[in-house]
Chain A
Amino acid sequence: MHISEGVLSGPVLASGAVLAVAGIGLGLRRMSVDNTPKTAMLSAVFFVASLIHVPFGPSNVHLILNGLSGVLLGWTVFPALAVALFLQAVMFQFGGLTVLGVNTLIMALPGMIAYHIFHLMYGIVRRPGRVFGVAVVLGAMAVLLSGLLLTAALALGGRAFLGVAAGIVAAHVPVMIADGVVTGAAVLFILKVRPDLLVPSRWEPAA
């Protein structure tokens, strides 16, 4: 999910950039040198996964998976998604340069929230079926939150974008469903195959 070039006002672009830089900075501080390859690899996977489209009616929807990236990356989701979004802009002309900060924030912040909720729940919920359920909800929630952040970014410009924003959020309902189930199944897969990769202590150095 991203905002195109040309839509947002200067103050919104600037605040987005400042907040994103802060998030990226914090993420980089939390990313030890040993974690760099892992973060890069996940960033690349999410870049590739965003190319997956699921048929929906006469059209199709693209996966976003910012909730799943958040769950696996923690704070490093900021630099990881910033790099992926920058590459998307370079390669596909999606999003762009001046909106990079806002777009990073829109994608990464819900990811961070999903990360905290998931690891809070992961300590309590143990059965795979329930972990799946939590992941489905978080995957869908991250898309919804991104939609709301996007709406907020548009509304903050003070211009008459509410109609546009409502349309965008409505268009993302199928994405929420798709992202939710895909996130759930992916987490279930990792849980069965390499559960240690879901545990953040292995991921982040004591900070």
Chain B
Amino acid sequence: MSCLAFFAGRSPVHRLDPRVRLLSALGLAVAIALSERLVTLGWALGLTTLLAAAARLGLWTLTRRLLHLNAFMLFLWMVLPWSVPGRFARTVWGLSITEEGIRLALEITVKGNAIVLLFTALVATIDPPRLGCALKRLALPDKLVHLFMLVIRYTDVIHDEYGRLRHALKARAFQPRFSSHTLRAFGYLVGLLLVRSMERAERVLAAMKCRGFDGHFHALTGFGLRPSDLVFTGMALCHVGAWAWLELS
């Protein structure tokens, strides 16, 4: 799917072991999520911006992706400064806004952007099949990994099927509106996708059984840690430690 915009790159980040990237992302994300001091969060935003730059994420695509998050942040900025009780800062449009409100909105904006940048730089850059293998190596339940692998295999198939049906609707002069006609058409479309995919699932299962599937999912890709992976892990740990120290001191 065209939305998989980030994993195809070649950068130092892409060459890191997927397990290292996943675990580092998780550790750093939790640390950022628990931080409340602006100095820590500013540092985190700086670090994750660097990571995004190192992963050579397309600036334009990345901006568009962050737009969604920041539309929500904008909404928070329109509500929080007025609604959080605290010390009076100034009056805007006849309403008094508080320092605490501004601080909270700022905290959330920086935190949210830092975590999303981190996740995009480290995890969205792993191509999905390798991501599945990495999840398996990290001892996630077999069934869950298998489920994940099948979902990424068939999302494209179903997305294409959906695309063809939308084409056919269009060719019959269908124009979506907020009307019962439109909603019913979408309902039937979803119903058809569901029935077809459940029937496909029956065939897929039969085909898997024919090839000796016994309920275990075997990963083909092996991973090996390289010195750069260890250095990266060490750096991530140092950051988590430094942030924890900043927060607790």
- Chain A: residues with CB nearer than 8 A to chain B? 4-8, 10, 13, 24-25, 28, 31, 33-34, 36-45, 47-49, 51-52, 54-57, 63, 65, 68, 72, 79-80, 83-84, 86-87, 89-94, 96-98, 159-160, 162-164, 167, 174, 177-178, 181-190, 193-194, 197
Contacts and interface: CB of A to CB of B under 8 A. Distances in A.
B238 interface: no
A94 B119 CA distance: 11
Contacts, number: 233
Contacts of A190: 191, 194-195
Interface stretch (B10-18, B66-74, B87-95, B224-232): B66-74
Interface in B113-133: 113-116, 119-120, 123-124, 128, 131
Interface in B167-224: 176-178, 180, 182-184, 186-195, 197-202, 204-205, 208, 215
Nearest to A203: B198
A54 B68 contact: no
Interface string B21-36: 0000110011001100
B178 A48 contact: no
A10 B33 contact: yes
Contacts of B202: 37-38
B120 A93 contact: yes
A189 B195 contact: yes
Given A41-B201, A48-B155, A185-B188, 7 more contacts: A48-B193, A52-B186, A87-B155, A159-B104, A160-B84, A184-B187, A185-B191
A37 B201 contact: yes
A60 to B, nearest CB: 8
B96 interface: no
B33 A68 contact: no
Q: Is the interface of B mostly helix, strand, loop or mixed?
A: helix
Contacts of B113: 6
Closest 9 CB pairs of A and B: A185-B187, A189-B191, A6-B112, A40-B150, A6-B111, A33-B215, A186-B191, A181-B183, A5-B115
A6 B115 contact: yes
Interface residues of B, number: 83
Nearest to A178: B183
Which of A28, A72, A90, A187: most chain B Cβ within 10 A?
A: A90
Which of B4, B112, B183: most chain A Cβ within 10 A?
A: B183
B25 to A, nearest CB: 7
Contacts of A68: 190
B37 interface: no
Nearest to A162: B83
Contacts of A33: 143, 215
Contacts of B194: 42, 45, 72, 186, 189-190, 197
